[in-house]
Structure 1
């Protein structure tokens, strides 16, 4: 049973105790019971917030593992075409995307009618590469 279910169960028990307390005339008991019910409600809210924080932390862990994995694969090599290549990877990669946030973006071929701006384009930042000198 998860924490939220346990807290919900405790809240229900607290509610039943509150119903029973209506039959009693002890003010101290009623005050303690009200404090208990309030504390359990606060705990339920806090556990929901903690679940959200945990999910965000797990996403960050996955992202950081990917960054470490990229670094483990090695740094790019700048070649004479003005693009990056990576050992063990096929294709040419955008220098701008790698230099700004270490994102490997494989370049795509431009259609022949657009070759005046270059041979390849980054699908992310749209940088052109391999332009012929006029």
Structure 2
């Protein structure tokens, strides 16, 4: 596995641990629909909202910040995958889309930011990100 894949896997594990500590229930990890994927699907601590979480991990934020890597194309892809997930698992709860950014390579030096309600794929699909 390439180093960036190792870093991405570590980042998703770190993000899932963070969510669990915050009281979220992690429902799915690395859910796929063809080439589209959702990193983490979780339920909020109150149980009322299903959250689709995009995790972006970078060793450093020198080139581009992790949250800037979630561009309009990625938002649309997540939206398509989330729509399929909602239909497949018959989700009737509120949903939202979060981003967790991690900069660093190990827990001791990593900074994690949880951006709640970071984007709306419907707006992106209509050209109004």
TM-score, structure 1 normalization: 0.23
Judging by fraction of residues, say which structure has more helix.
1
* Larger relative contact order (Cα-Cα within 8 Å, sequence gap ≥ 6): 2
Judging by fraction of residues, say which structure has more strand.
2
The structure number with the bigger radius of gyration is 1
